[in-house]
Structure 1
C-alpha cells in the first residue's frame, strides 16, 4: 500500500474529480458518508454526546458534512467551528450553509471565547486541520487542543490528528491532538509510523473514498506500507524435488567470550527460517555451547580463544550474517577488516559489525553491493551522524544507502527498510520485541532468506515482516513482558503458516494498533 505525500494526495483528489466527472463537494460528501458509516456501525443510534470541532478548511468541511448526516439519523451532537483564520474553503462554506438550512447552529469559537465544556464520557471528533497544515496553530488554538487532550473524552481525528504536519516534525507537541483513533482517507500517512509523530495516533484505520485507481497505480511513492498481501507475493514455495543444497548454506559469524548466545540465537533463527545448511563461525570458547545446543548447526572455530582474531573459512557460504556478539577488540577489528577485503559474498551486518564499520568508515567502500545493514537507532547514529528529527533521519539514511549501495534496516517500532531512495514500512511487531536478542534473531532470519535465493532487498522486507509476525504470534500466549528472543524464533514457523491463513482477497486488515 503506497504512502503518498500531501502534494500527491491533493493531486489524487484532482485527478479523481476529472476522471469521475464529479465536484469537490461530491467527493467531500463521499468522505463524510464513509465517516458516518464508521460511527453508525459502532454506535447504532446510541445517544452518547458527540462534539465535533471543525476548522474552516476542507477538514472542517468534512466535519460539518458528517454533522449533517448525524442529524439526519437522530444522533446527539454539538458542532464547534474554530475561527483560526479569516479564510474559508468553498466546500466548508457550502456545508456550513447546509447546516444552517436545517436550523443546526454551530458554536463559533474565537480567540477570546471560553473553552467549551467537555465530559469524559463524550466523543470528540477532531476535524480542525487536515493534511495541508503548514504552520503551528495560534496560541489560543493550542489552549483549545490542550483542553481536548485533557478532557478524558474519546477522540477520533479525521484524516490526521490536528496539529501534525505530513512532511515535517512536530514543532510544538502541546498543539497536537492526541487521537485515540484516526480515520484516514484512502492512504496511510507516514507520520503514523515514526516515533516522534506516531505517538499522537493510538490506532488508525483507512476509509476508502474511491480515489482514482489509475492515479494510485501510476504514481510512484517514496514509501510503501508492507502488509501480508505484499509479502505473500514474495514467497518462494518449496519444490518437491529439492534438497538441502537447494536452499543455501548460510554462515553466522560472530561471538566473543560471554556473547556466544547472540550467535546461537541468530543461527537457530537462520535454520528455523528455512536455510538448507547453517554454519556458525565463533571463537574457540563458543564451540561447546553451539555444538551442544544446536545439533542442526555446524561449527567452525577461529584461532582465538575468547575473540575472533583471524577469519579463515574452509567453506563457501552463499551468504554471511556477521557482527552479532562480535566485540570490538583490536584484534577482532583487524580480522574483520582483513576479511572484508577478501570476500564478495552477500552479507547481513549487525551489532558490533556495524560498530567496527562506524569506527572506520572506509570499510563501507569494501562492502559487496546490496549489503544489508541492520542498525538500531544508536548504531545508526554512529553510521550516519546525528539528525534533527525523524524526517531528517530518513533523508540521511536514504543518502547513505545510495552512496554506499547498501540496504538499511532501520529498527524501530515500525522498522523501515531503505534502499535506492525508497522506504518500506513494516506493519508487524509489538513492544514485547524490545528484548535482548531480538535483533540477533532478525539477522538470522534475513540471512536465511538470502541463502534461499531471495534478492537482498526482498529478503530484508520479507525478513522484517516475518520476524515481527513471529513476535505477534508469540505474545498471544505470553504477553509483552514475557516475550523472549527464543519465543520469537518459535513463532517463525507459525508466521509462515499465517501467510496462508486467509484468502488473498481478504488479507488486508486495514486497522493497525501502534
Structure 2
C-alpha cells in the first residue's frame, strides 16, 4: 500500500475534482458519509453523547458535515467550533450553514472559553486540525486538547490526530492529541509508523473516499506499507525436480566465546526460511555446541575463542555475518582481509555493523546491495545522531545511496530503506523485543538471498516473515514468554499463512429466524 505525502493527497483531491467533474464540497461530503457509516455500523444509535470538536479548515468541515448526519440519525451530539483563526475554508462555511439550517447551533470556542464538560463514557470526535497543519497550535488550543485528553473519553480522530504534523515531530508531547482510533482518508500516514509520532495513534483504519484510481496507481511514493498482499508476489515456489543445491548454500559467520547461541539461532532460521544448505563459520569453541544443537548445519572454524581468520573452500550463495562476532582486534583484521576480495552477497548484523561503524573505510569494500540490519543504536553508530525520526530517515537514505546498500531499521515497524524508497513493515509485536530475535532475522534474510531472491525483496520479505512468525507464535506464548526459538518455529507457519484465504464472517441468526 502506498503512503502518500500531504502534498500528494492535496494533488489527488485536485485531480479527482477535475477528472470526476465534482466540487470540493462533494468530496468533503463523501468523507463525512464514510465516517458516519463507520460510526453507525458500530454504534447503531447507541445512547452515547458524541462531542464533535471542529476546526475552521477542511478537517473541521468534515466534522461539521459528520455532525449533520449524526443528528439526522438521532444521535445525541454537541458541536464545538475551535475558533483558532479568522480564516475559514469555503467548504467549512458551506457545511456550517447546512448545520444551522437544521437548527444545530455549534458552541464557538476561543482563548477565553470555558472548557466543555465531557463524561468519561462519552465519545470525542477530533476534527480540529488535518494534514495541512504547518505550525504549532496556539497555547489555548493546546490547553483544550489536553483537557479533552484528561476526560479519558474515547477519542476518534478524523484523518490524523490534531496537532500532529505529517513531516516533523511535535515540539512538545502535549502539543498533539493521542487518539484511540484514527479514520484516515484513502491512505495511512507515515507518522502512524514512526516511534516518535506513532505513539499518538492506538489504532487506525483507512476510509476510501473515492479519490481517483488513476492518480493513486500512477503516482510514485517515497514509502510503501508492506502487508501480505505486497509480499505474496515475491514468493518463489519450489520446483518438483529440484534438490538442496537448487536452494543455495548460506554461510553464517560469527560467534565468539559465550555467544555461539547467536550463530545457532541465525543458522536455524536460515534453514527454516528455505536455504538448501547452511554452514556455520565459528571459532573452535563453538564447534561442539553447534554440531549438537543443529545437526542439519555444517560447521567450519577459524580461531579459538573468537574468529581470527576466515578461510573456506566453498562457494556460498550468501554470507550472513556479524552475529555474536565480537570486536577483538584479530577479528576486525580478519573481517577486513575477508572483505578485500569478497564478491558474495552479504547480510551484516550486530558486531559486523559495529566493526563497519568504527572502520568506515570498510564500507567501500562491501558488494553492491549489501543488506545491513541495525537496531537504533547500531544505526546511530553508522549514520550519526539524528534530531528526530524524519532526520533519521533522511540520513539513512543518504547513507544507503552513498554506499549502495540496503538498510533494515529494526523496530516496532521495521523500515527497509534502499536509495530514496522506504518499505514499512506491518507484522510483529512487542514480544519480539527479546534476545536473539535479530539473529533470527539475519538468518531469514540470508536464507532468502541463498534461494535466489533479489536482495531488496529478500530484505522486505524477510522482515515480513520474521514479524509474522512472531505474531503466530505469540498467540501461544504471550508477549513475555516469546523467545527467538519460538519465532523460528513460527517461520513455516508464516509461509503457510501467505496462502490462507480469510474466512467469511459468521452470520448470526436471530432467535426468531432460528
**What band does the TM-score fall into relative to the shorter chain?**
over 0.9
Query: Residue 107 in 1 paired to residue 113 in 2?
Result: no
Task: Please provide the CA RMSD for this pair.
Answer: 1.1
Is the CA contact (8 Å cut-off) linking 1:120 and 1:152 kept in structure 2?
Answer: yes
Q: CA deviation at 1:118?
A: 1.0
Corresponding residue number in structure 1 for 2:125 = 125
Cα deviation code 1:9-51 (max 9, x no counterpart): 0000000011111100000000000000000000011010100
User: Partner residue of 1:512?
Assistant: none
1:423 aligned partner: 422
Task: Give the equivalent residue in structure 1 for 2:227.
Answer: 227
4+ runs deviating over 3 angstroms: 503-506
Residue in 2 aligned with 1:254?
254
Match of 1:191 in 2: 191
In structure 2, the residue matched to 1:447 is 446
CA distance in 2, matches of 1:98, 1:120: 30
Query: Within 2, Cα distance between the matches of 1:173 and 1:505?
Result: 41
Q: Which residue of 2 aligns with 1:379?
A: 378
Q: Deviations over 1:350-403 (max 9, x none)?
A: 000000000000000000000000000000000000000000000000000000
- Tell me, yes or no, if the aligned pair for 1:318 and 1:346 is still in contact at 8 Å: yes
Counterpart in the other structure of 1:43: 43
SS at match of 1:180: strand
Q: Is the 8 A contact 1:136 1:172 kept in 2?
A: no
Partner residue, 1:354 = 353
Equivalent residue, structure 1, for 2:362:
363
What is the match of residue 408 of structure 2?
A: 409
Deviations 1:423-476 (A, max 9, x none): 000000000000000000000000000001000000000000000000000111
What is the correspondence of 1:95-494 to structure 2 with a 5 Å cutoff? 95-302=95-302, 304-494=303-493
Shift in Å, 1:504: 12
Displacement after TM superposition at 1:172 (Å)? 2.1
Measured in 2, the distance between the counterparts of 1:193 and 1:463 equals: 19
State the match for 1:510 in structure 2: none
| 1:92 equivalent in alignment to 2:92 | yes
DSSP 3-state at the match of 2:304: coil
**Residue in 2 that maps onto 1:3:** 3
What is the distance in 2 between the residues matched to 1:505 and 1:354? 46
Counterpart-to-counterpart distance in 2, 1:503 and 1:422: 30
**Structure 1 counterpart SS, 2:94:** helix
- The SS at the match of 2:116 is coil
Aligned mates of 1:505, 1:385 — CA distance in 2: 49
Structure-2 residue corresponding to 1:31: 31
Runs of at least 5 residues in structure 2 that lack an aligned partner in the other structure: 506-514
Distance of 1:197 and 1:402 partners within structure 2: 26
**CA distance in structure 1 between the partners assigned to 2:164 and 2:301 by the alignment:** 53
CA contact (8 A) 1:229 1:504 kept: no
Query: Match for residue 511 of structure 1?
Result: none
Q: Where does structure 1 lack aligned partners over 5 or more consecutive residues?
A: 507-514
TM-score, normalised with respect to structure 2: 0.97
Please give the per-residue CA displacement for 1:137-176, whole angstroms capped at 9, x wherever unaligned: 0000010010011111000000000000001121122120
Question: Helix, strand or coil: the match of 1:348?
Answer: strand
Shift of residue 503 of structure 1? 6.5
**Normalized against structure 1, the TM-score is what?**
0.97
Secondary structure in structure 1 of the residue aligned to 2:201? coil
Distance 2:111 2:98 in 1: 25
Partner in structure 1 of residue 74 of structure 2: 74
- What CA distance in whole angstroms lies between the structure 2 residues aligned with 1:233 and 1:14? 32
Q: Distance in 2 between matches of 1:280 and 1:9?
A: 49
SS at match of 1:296: coil
Aligned length: 505
Q: 1:492 Cα deviation (Å)?
A: 0.3
In the alignment, which residue of structure 1 is the partner of 2:512? none
Deviation for aligned residue 1:505: 12
Q: Shift of the alpha carbon at 1:240?
A: 0.7
Q: Secondary structure at the match of 2:442?
A: helix
* 1:270 positional shift: 0.2
What is the CA–CA distance in structure 2 between the aligned matches of 1:455 and 1:369, rounded to whole Å? 12
